[in-house]
A = this chain, B = another copy of it.
Amino acid sequence: MNLTFRQLKVFEMVAQHLNYTSAAKELHLSQPAVSMQIKQLEEQANTPLIEKLGKKLYLTEVGQEMYNYARSTLQQLLDLEETISQMKSLHKGHLKLAVASTANHFVIRMLARFAKVYPKISISLDVTNRSSLLDLLEKNECDLVVMGRPPEGHNLTARPFLENPLVVVAHPNHYLVREKQVSLKELSREEFVIREQGSGTRSAVERFFEEHNMKFKTKMDMSNNRAIKHAAEEGLGLAIVSLHTLEIELRAKTLNIINVEGFPVYRHWYVVQREGKRLSPIAKVFKDYIMQEADGLIKGFNLPSMHHN
The interface of chain A, by Cβ under 8 A from chain B, is 1-6, 45-48, 51-54, 56, 58, 60-62, 65-66, 69, 72-73, 76-77, 80-81, 83-84, 87-88, 93-94, 140, 155, 274, 276-278, 280-281
Q: Once bound together, how far apart are the Cα atoms of A76 and B60, in whole Å?
A: 20
Q: Once bound together, how far apart are the Cα atoms of A155 and B87, in whole Å?
A: 58
7 nearest CB pairs, A to B: A69-B80, A61-B280, A51-B278, A53-B140, A48-B278, A53-B274, A1-B81
This protein's copies in its complex: 2
Assuming the A-B contacts A5-B2, A52-B276, A280-B60, are A65 and B77 also in contact, with contact meaning beta carbons closer than 8 angstroms in the complex? no
Q: Please tell me if the beta carbons of B77 and A76 are within 8 angstroms of each other in the complex.
A: no
Minimum Cβ distance to chain B for residue A180 (Å): 52
- Interface CB pairs A-B, < 8 A, 10: A1-B80, A4-B4, A5-B5, A46-B88, A47-B84, A47-B87, A58-B140, A65-B87, A66-B84, A76-B76
Q: Once bound together, how far apart are the Cα atoms of A122 and B73, in whole Å?
A: 26
Q: Once bound together, how far apart are the Cα atoms of A5 and B62, in whole Å?
A: 21
Q: Please tell me if the beta carbons of B278 and A45 are within 8 angstroms of each other in the complex.
A: no
Q: Please tell me if the beta carbons of A47 and B88 are within 8 angstroms of each other in the complex.
A: yes
Q: Once bound together, how far apart are the Cα atoms of A5 and B52, in whole Å?
A: 30
Q: Please tell me if the beta carbons of B3 and A56 are within 8 angstroms of each other in the complex.
A: no
Q: Please tell me if the beta carbons of A93 and B280 are within 8 angstroms of each other in the complex.
A: no
Q: Please tell me if the beta carbons of B76 and A62 are within 8 angstroms of each other in the complex.
A: no
Q: Please tell me if the beta carbons of B53 and A65 are within 8 angstroms of each other in the complex.
A: no
Minimum Cβ distance to chain B for residue A276 (Å): 6
Assuming the A-B contacts A84-B62, A87-B65, are A277 and B53 also in contact, with contact meaning beta carbons closer than 8 angstroms in the complex? yes
